[in-house]
A = this chain, B = another copy of it.
Amino acid sequence: MNQEIIKSISQKTDSKIIFVVIDGLGGLTNPETGKSELETAEIPNLSRLAKDSLCGLSIPIALGITPGSGPSHLALFGYDPIKYKIGRGILEALGLDVEVQENDLVARANFATYDYKNSRVLDRRAGRIPTEKCVELCALLQKKIKKVDTTKILFHPGKGHRFAVIFRGKNLSEGISENDPQKDGHPAHLIEPLQPSAKKTAEMVNNFLSLITDTLKDLNPANYVLLRGFAGYPDLPKITEIYQLNPAAIATYPMYRGIARLLGMKILPTGEKLEDEIKTLEQNFREYNFFYLHIKETDLYGEDGNFAGKVKKLEEIDSFIPRIETLKPDVLVITGDHSTPAVLKGHSWHPVPFLLHSKHSSKDGLNKFTEKECRSGSLGLFQAEEIMPLALAYAGKLTKFGA
């Protein structure tokens, strides 16, 4: 559904929506048992809810398309994931809990070992220096390089050899090439403008790299910096404006807090455990009317191929469902951003179990909250982009379209 239309019929109400995103929720059959993660798990609360809820299987982007976290979250919140994009550099910075601003250009960066004599990259990862070394080098660079011309420079250390660079200036363009040759043994590239309007940005980044060389060249093995994934601040309409919501996000992982911030949500400080997230939800329940609650570990276990770990995490999540229900939200949505089947050890294109519980939602009578059962829910297969309008409608937050 066109977001402009949703915007035109959205209205402020006090009704409350809790939107639980279980990352990588969907799974696939374990060949040994013939059951998926959800089919294996003991999830009496989720299954009781599913019996009394509107259910379906949501398609994150399109049949056959495996989404990254950016597009899949955009779709969940009602944004066209083809039209709107969150660039790689931006996601990287969000993952480091860096607040990105509107005039920022962000790049993913590696410390690397460079053979200046023969002009070639010896090691794109500088011998995988430890994180402490990365922190130390970023501090050094930050001390020596604060600005390039009028552009402010910010260094944010990540894990090992990885960090992020923020160029904070005016009229910076993401339309520039990368200096990273992607392979050892090749010379670093000059940064080139990919469009005429990016000429000044390319010059500025080349000047920045000269300053990097001046600072690092004698500090083997981390004597150079490779940049890639240049991305500008994504111009996304805010959830507060489109849906007239007063939204808050609870997430243990920085990247999801970052995406929520880009969409205009208030980020609630929380701890590292699911129990912490639930407490944060309870403590803040009166203050907001939309809560995005993100649970990460199911995806991590899926990525690791840890079927049993994912099952156990699902059971833990299930045990917290009654505490969420006690809050009596007007609408409770429980779904995932995409599937991460343990048997595939990665994100996949398979549609995702979905339930929406509300006073007037149908009671689909599912036997259990699983992929197969959700397929036979009222919604059947449907697009994730339609979840947000449904949640708003059941919360009484959408008026009539047309007279």
Provided the pairs A62-B386, A378-B375, A380-B380 are in contact, do residues A393 and B68 lie with their beta carbons within 8 angstroms?
Answer: no
CB-defined contacts of A392 to chain B, threshold 8 Å: 64
Cross-chain contact A1 with B389 (CB below 8 angstroms): no
User: Is the CB of A296 closer than 8 A to any CB of chain B?
Assistant: no
Give the A interface residue count (CB, 8 A): 54
Within 8 A of B (CB), among A1-24: 1-2, 5, 9
A28 and B399 alpha carbons, distance in the complex (Å): 18
Interface stretch of the complex, out of A79-87, A114-122, A202-210: A79-87
CB-defined contacts of A399 to chain B, threshold 8 Å: 66
Cross-chain contact B65 with A389 (CB below 8 angstroms): yes
CB-defined contacts of A379 to chain B, threshold 8 Å: 63, 381
User: Is the CB of A221 closer than 8 A to any CB of chain B?
Assistant: no
CB-defined contacts of A5 to chain B, threshold 8 Å: 65, 82
Provided the pairs A71-B402, A381-B379, A402-B81 are in contact, do residues A389 and B63 lie with their beta carbons within 8 angstroms?
Answer: yes
**Set B29, B343, B382, B401: member contacting A61, Cβ < 8 A:** B401
A71 and B86 alpha carbons, distance in the complex (Å): 34
User: Smallest CB–CB gap between A24 and chain B, Å?
Assistant: 13
Q: How many copies does the complex hold?
A: 2
A93 and B212 alpha carbons, distance in the complex (Å): 64
User: Is the CB of A183 closer than 8 A to any CB of chain B?
Assistant: no
Cross-chain contact A64 with B386 (CB below 8 angstroms): yes
User: Is the CB of A70 closer than 8 A to any CB of chain B?
Assistant: yes
Sample of 7 further A-B pairs with CB below 8 A, known A64-B391, A86-B403: A1-B63, A1-B64, A64-B389, A64-B393, A66-B401, A68-B400, A379-B381
18 contacts between A and B (CB under 8 A): A2-B82, A5-B65, A62-B386, A62-B389, A63-B386, A63-B389, A63-B393, A64-B393, A64-B394, A65-B393, A66-B393, A66-B399, A67-B401, A67-B402, A68-B403, A70-B403, A72-B402, A349-B390
